[in-house]
Every structure is written in C-alpha cells, then in structure tokens.
Amino acid sequence: MTDRIILIDDEPAILNALKQLLTLEDYQVQTFSQASEALTLLEPNWPGIIISDINMPGMDGIAFLKKALELDSELPVILLTGHGDISLAVEAMRIGAYDFLEKPFSNEHLLDVLRRATDKRKLVLENRELKEELSSQGAPGPRILGNNAKIKELRRVLARVKDMPADILIKGETGSGKDLVARYLHYNSVRSSENFVAINCGAIPENMIESELFGFEAGAFTSAQKRRVGKIEYANGGTFFLDEIESMPMPLQIKLLRVLEERKIEPLGSNKVVKLDIRFIAAAKVDLKTLVEQGVFREDLYYRLNVINIQIPPLRERTDDISMLFQHFAAIASIRFDTDTPKLDSEQLYRLRNHSWPGNIRELRNMAERFVLMGGESILEHSAALQQENSGMTLAERVSYFERSVLMDALQVNDGRLTEVQQQLGLPRKTLYDKLKKHGLEKDDYKH
C-alpha cells in the first residue's frame, strides 16, 4: 500500500493539524517530533510518503533527507519550509527531495502534491516488483509459468516475501504445485546457495519420522550403529520444506513447534544442541484451521507456521493458461522421449479447457506426456474425463467460449504477433481487434 504517511515536525500543533487532515483523506499517518525516530522505520521499498519540516533540533530535515535517500534513492520526501528557508529548500531539491512547501500552505496544495507523490511511489514499487519477477523468471531454476491474473499476483507475492526471515504456509490442492512454489522461493532467495531439503510428512512411517528429522547419535537405539545427521540439521542455512504437514503425528507436532520457536534441535541420544538458521516452509492440501477445530492439528503450531500465507490457485481457475502449460509440458516430454511434439487442434484445446482437472498441474503434465507418446491422435479424443463438457452452457456461450479458445491458441502459437494471428485465422485487422477486446485478451500477455 502506498497510502502511508510519516509526518515529522517539532511543533505539536502542526503535527496534530496535518494528521487530522490526512486521516480524513484516508491516509495512514504516523507522527514524530524527531527525525531520528522516524528514520528507524524506513527500509528499501517502504510503501509510503514522508513529510518533514526542515528546521528541527537534533537531526534536521536536510540530514534526514540524505539518510532516507541512502536507504531508497526514490523515496518521496516532501519538505516543509519557513519563509527564510528557501535556499535550504533549493539545496534539498538538488539532493533529491520530491517537493517542498513554503509555510503557510493551503490544504489543497498539500493534498495535490501528496496525490502525485503517491502515484509516483506506487509506479516505482510496481516497476521494481516487475523487474524482480522478470529477473527470477529468466534465471536458472524453478519457474512459475502463466499469464493468468492469479498467477501474476502469486509471482508478485513470492517476489515480496522470498527474502523475508519468516516461515511460510502454502495452501493448495493436490497437484497444484506446492513443491514448485517452495523450491521457487528457495532458489530465488538469499538462501539459494545453501541446501533445500524436502520431506513428505505423510510418506515417512510414524516410528521413523522423528529420527529422520532430528538425526541421532550412535547407540541412540538398537539399530543406530553410527551417527546420522537429521534432515533439519542438513538444511541449516537453507530451506526446510514440510509437505503434507497435516499428516504429521500429534506428538511430533509438539517437537516441531519447539524447534520453530527456539531455532535449535537436539539429535536423539545427544546432549549437544544444534543452533539453526533455517526458513521453514510447510504445505497442506486441506484447511489446517478446520483440522485445528477437529482437534487433530495443534492450534499453536498452525499460528506459528501461518506467518506468511500463500494460496495456489487450482488449474480450473486459470484455464487461460492451459494451452501454454500443456504445450510446455509436451515440449519437455518430446525432448525426453526423443520424438516430435504433436500439435493441439482447436477441438482438443476446447476439451482441455472444459475439463475440471481434479489433479491440477500434475494431471495436466501427465496428460501432455501421454499425448506425446500417443502421437496426439487419440489420447484426448477418447479420454472419458475430457468428454465431460459443461452441459449447462447455452449454445451462444459455447460458441463464445470456443472462439476465445481459438484466439488464445493463435496468440500463444504466434507469441502475440497480431499480423501472424490475423493471417492464421483469416480475419480482417479491425475484426481481430474487436474480438480481442470482446474477450479481454491482450497480445502482450502472450509474448515470450
């Protein structure tokens, strides 16, 4: 949010008057009588505007401006000046102040400057997020593909939280990509050079999971012939991913909570404490809050894990990505099986988009692999699941849906180049533009 304001002035009357004005305009206002106190709140990408007086005891406005811009060179700082401070104001503009207001100033003038500063700050932060997203998408490692609005928002959220020193809870249906999101967070974070360790809490026998997590010393139990480093200790410095956390036995939930709170472990049979510097990421395919209410998942562990919550949309809510994802998986399968990639026709694409995809991305990937292995001739046409078209749609709705699918497929194939789309579909330029507008399609979303 960019509607946050920091007000700095050593005159209480001015602080109170400005706070009242800005609060009525729906800004979130924090006031300070000393600039040094406000400086402790600032960090790169702080989402707000600063209004500061120039002449103050201790750290004055000019000194504050220099310190603030060292943290973020594009942070909007508006300075308030008295009549005799014009030369200082000019110097402040040279240093990098966004604007200055000479006292007394009108409320309308202040609000106008604030609106412009807020718009600029919003644009700067959005551009930074976009650059981070493009950088991470082009870098080696896991990629989260898609042009759907929910996927774009997911990537923006991941870009914001990837380096935050907080544990994360990922929610998503089976096959929606929870493991991919966890790996994406790790390999795009400052921890990327350290280990990423993943376990499936539902796949390890209950009598073994504790020793797997915490490790053990030689002689800790009958079969412990030599020391073994636990998976948590092995992930030290990096990321530890707990998939299907809802399957973790209740006694182990208690021990995990202690690890999360104390950031240390004690291997079985050892008196040595191992200090941890780890980001924990947990994933669940069911609502943990419901399990808490049922008494099968600890409430304190749920809230400890749920510091940052990430929701992965199911594939049925992002059907406009299906064509791109299917062709991506088909291309990978073709390389693996050393065969050509069959082409999807419009009817096949229509059926893909009408399928409910209970297995989400995993099911789509498996379908694409079978499509390649079968040469694209029969696997889609004879799949009973894909025959389940939406019988509740009217003829006009089906025609419109089919038309949108054909347009999206052509945009995907031609990387958003409208001249080639026009030639492929045999449409006049204006007709193509009208149809794209009708279906809410943007060519730039399909450029690779």
The secondary structure of the chain, three-state, reads CCCEEEEECCCHHHHHHHHHHHHHCCCEEEEECCHHHHHCCCCCCCCEEEEEECCCCCCCHHHHHHHHHHHCCCCCEEEEECHHHHHHHHHHHHHCCCEEEECCCCHHHHHHHHHHHHHHHHHHHHHHHHHHHHHHHHCCCCCCCCCCHHHHHHHHHHHHHCCCCCCEEEECCCCCCHHHHHHHHHHCCCCCCCCEEEEECCCCCHHHHHHHHHEECCCCCCCCCCCEECHHHHCCCCEEEEECHHHCCHHHHHHHHHHHHHCEECCECCCCCEECCCEEEEEECCCHHHHHHHCCCCHHHHHHHCCEEEECCCHHHCHHHHHHHHHHHHHHHHHHHCCCCCCCCHHHHHHHHHCCCCCHHHHHHHHHHHHHHCCCCCCCCCCCHHHCCCCCCCHHHHHHHHHHHHHHHHHHHCCCCHHHHHHHHCCCHHHHHHHHHHCCCCHHHHCC
Question: Nearest-5° angle of CA 240, CA 246, CA 247?
Answer: 90
CB-based contact 37:14 (threshold 8 Å): no
Q: Are residues 400 and 301 in the same domain?
A: no
On whether residue 142 sits in a domain, the answer given is no
CB-based contact 360:315 (threshold 8 Å): yes
Q: What is the pLDDT tens value at each position of the chain, 448 positions in all?
A: 558 999 999 999 999 999 999 998 889 999 999 999 999 889 888 999 999 999 888 899 999 999 999 999 999 999 998 766 677 778 888 899 999 898 888 999 999 999 999 999 988 887 787 676 666 555 566 889 888 889 989 998 998 899 998 999 999 999 999 999 999 999 999 999 999 999 998 877 777 777 888 887 776 666 666 777 889 999 999 999 999 999 998 888 998 999 999 999 888 777 788 899 999 999 999 999 999 999 999 999 999 999 999 999 999 999 888 888 888 888 888 888 888 888 777 777 777 887 888 899 999 998 888 888 888 764 555 444 444 444 456 777 777 877 887 888 788 778 788 888 888 888 888 888 888 888 888 877 676 5
Domains: count for the chain: 3
On whether residue 49 sits in a domain, the answer given is yes
Point out the domain boundary residue: 245, 278, 313.
Answer: 313
On whether residue 438 sits in a domain, the answer given is yes
Q: Are residues 422 and 434 in the same domain?
A: yes
What CATH number is given to the structural domain containing 29?
3.40.50.2300
On whether residue 139 sits in a domain, the answer given is no
On whether residue 100 sits in a domain, the answer given is yes
Q: Are residues 330 and 293 in the same domain?
A: no
What is the reported pLDDT for 387? Answer: 46
Tokens of 93: 């503009």
CA distance 354 to 435: 21
Q: Are residues 227 and 268 in the same domain?
A: yes
This prediction's pTM: 0.62
Point out the domain boundary residue: 283, 313, 343.
Answer: 313
Residue 204: which domain range? Answer: 149-313
CB-based contact 186:227 (threshold 8 Å): no
On whether residue 136 sits in a domain, the answer given is no
pLDDT tens digits for range 9-30: 999 999 999 999 999 888 999 9
Q: Are residues 328 and 383 in the same domain?
A: yes
Q: Are residues 165 and 299 in the same domain?
A: yes
On whether residue 144 sits in a domain, the answer given is no
Point out the domain boundary residue: 284, 313, 342.
Answer: 313
CA distance 358 to 419: 37
What is the reported pLDDT for 448? Answer: 55
What is the reported pLDDT for 143? Answer: 85
pLDDT tens digits for range 117-155: 999 998 888 778 767 666 655 556 688 988 888 998 999
Q: Are residues 362 and 287 in the same domain?
A: no
Q: Are residues 302 and 322 in the same domain?
A: no
Q: Are residues 45 and 116 in the same domain?
A: yes
Q: Are residues 323 and 286 in the same domain?
A: no
Nearest to 350 by CA among 378, 376, 327, 322: 322
Q: Are residues 236 and 365 in the same domain?
A: no
On whether residue 157 sits in a domain, the answer given is yes
What is the reported pLDDT for 314? Answer: 94
Q: Which residues contact 112 (CB under 8 A, 6 or more apart)?
A: none
User: How many angstroms separate the Cα of 207 from the Cα of each of 122, 251, 289?
Assistant: 52, 11, 26
Q: Are residues 228 and 290 in the same domain?
A: yes
